[in-house]
Amino acid sequence: MSENNNPTYHGIYLSGNFDIEEKLSPNHGWRNEYRAYVTYIGCAGLDQDQRLSYGIKAKGYSSPSFMLSENHIYFLRGSFFPSKSADTDNDQFLFEGSDACLLSASEGCVTDLVDSVGVTSLGFVVRIHTIVEKCCNMLKKSPSDPDPKTTVLTVEHADYHPIMKSRRVSRMEYLIRPSRDMAGIAASIVVGSECHFHGFIKDFNQETNCYVVIKVYLTTGFQQQPTVPAIESGTAPGPTKKPPKFMVKKITARADFPEDKVAMTSKSDNKVAAPCELQLPPSPGPSGEKSGSSGESPSISKSLPAPTKKRARYQPKRNLPPPSGEESGE
């Protein structure tokens, strides 16, 4: 795909409404199934006070049955390759013809196509600077507060061009305005961060030849992962403080197992409760003798009081008959 080892698949994906103004001849050195059209990206400017249109070329890969018609508005989506020049007519938008959705004719359409092209992209931040916008003055809490600053991220994208058969590199600018929901995002991004953006094209910067995207949502913005020794020592750098690492305690003895601790606790409870059970009087009969003769430890048997011995009852005196000699004397 690419002759060098630089990363690819960090491209730009567009989706939105496009007015097909003209259909070009397919005889441009490309394959016949790539049909080219002339369309534009409508913008209102950063301060919402302009109506700008930047012409681009849209190329669709499809069969003749999915050919687009002139002077019609379609919903298209596909890869975008800016040319990095002031002439936006060389910017190429590659869409799948089978994904095209016809909306209406250009003459009867009453919907404004300004600011209707969404962007989803992935790239590396190469520059960070701030600007002051007039439209952000309403974010001041009081007139004496300083002007709020908008953070501008210049992001480099690289993707494989299926027609040119080469790797194409381009840049775009993403604006992070100082609104309440975006306050902490800009501080977590540094040069070299890999970020995934979602927004829409708002303007074109003629000084840097970059499209300007108003940032709506940022899914990732992080530094490169630290090395393994830095992670183990707990000194890994980062834009925000992380909670302390949870260290699992090593079990070195058998008694450290939770199950053994529960078993030992239950045994000790049984030993404490045993004297209370032995203080009960033995039940009469064979069952009582059996329970009294059950094996107990010497320490427990010595600590218990000796059972009282029952005295044997004397037999009642009997009236014995007088001896035979005495009766004969009388």
**Which pLDDT tens digit goes with each residue over 100-141?**
999 999 888 877 888 999 999 999 999 999 998 888 877 888
Taking the alpha carbons at both ends of the chain, their separation in whole angstroms is 152
Angstrom CA distances, 2 to 13, 79, 156, 194, stand at 20, 17, 17, 20
- Confidence band, pLDDT 50/70/90 cuts, at residue 181: confident
Say whether 170 sits in a helix, a strand or coil: strand
Is the torsion defined by CA of 62, 63, 65, 69 positive or negative? positive
Tokens, residue 224: 């490169």
Please report, for the domain that includes residue 154, its CATH number: 2.40.50.140
**Which pLDDT tens digit goes with each residue over 131-164?**
988 888 778 888 888 888 889 999 999 999 988 8
Q: In the chain, what percentage of residues exceed pLDDT 90?
A: 30
Please report whether residue 262 resides in a domain: no
Strand duo 12-20 + 72-81: pairing: antiparallel
CB distance 161 to 167 below 8 Å:
yes
- Confidence band, pLDDT 50/70/90 cuts, at residue 10: confident
Looking at per-residue confidence, does 41 or 2 come out higher? 41
Query: What is the 3 state secondary structure string of 97-152?
Result: HHHCEEEEECCCCCCCCECCEEEEEEEEEEEEEEEECHHHHHHCCCCCCCCCEEEE
If you search the block for the tokens 């050195």, which residue do you land on? 29
Q: Examine the pLDDT at 267 and tell me if it is beyond 90.
A: no
Q: What is the pLDDT of residue 130?
A: 92
Structural domain for 94, as ranges: 12-219
**Which pLDDT tens digit goes with each residue over 23-78?**
886 655 555 667 889 999 999 888 777 788 999 999 987 777 788 889 999 999 99
If you search the block for the tokens 């730009």, which residue do you land on? 12
Question: CA–CA separation, 207 vs 131, rounded Å?
Answer: 14
Please report whether residue 112 resides in a domain: yes
Strand duo 92-96 + 101-105: pairing: unpaired
- Confidence band, pLDDT 50/70/90 cuts, at residue 232: low
Residues 261-281, mean pLDDT to the nearest whole number = 52
Q: What is the pLDDT of residue 153?
A: 93
Q: Examine the pLDDT at 184 and tell me if it is beyond 70.
A: yes
Please report whether residue 264 resides in a domain: no
Q: Taking the complete model, does pTM exceed 0.85, yes or no? A: no
Tokens, residue 102: 């016809």
Please report whether residue 272 resides in a domain: no
Q: Examine the pLDDT at 2 and tell me if it is beyond 50.
A: no
Residues 8-21, mean pLDDT to the nearest whole number = 90
Please report whether residue 283 resides in a domain: no
Please report whether residue 329 resides in a domain: no
CB distance 43 to 52 below 8 Å:
yes
Would you tell me how many other CB atoms lie within 10 Å of the CB of residue 176?
22
Domain tally, the chain: 1
Please report whether residue 310 resides in a domain: no
- Confidence band, pLDDT 50/70/90 cuts, at residue 203: very high
Question: CA–CA separation, 170 vs 123, rounded Å?
Answer: 10
How confident is the prediction for the chain on average, in pLDDT?
75
Q: What is the pLDDT of residue 198?
A: 92
Q: What is the pLDDT of residue 154?
A: 95
Please report whether residue 2 resides in a domain: no
Dihedral pair phi/psi, residue 324, rounded to 5° = -65, -30
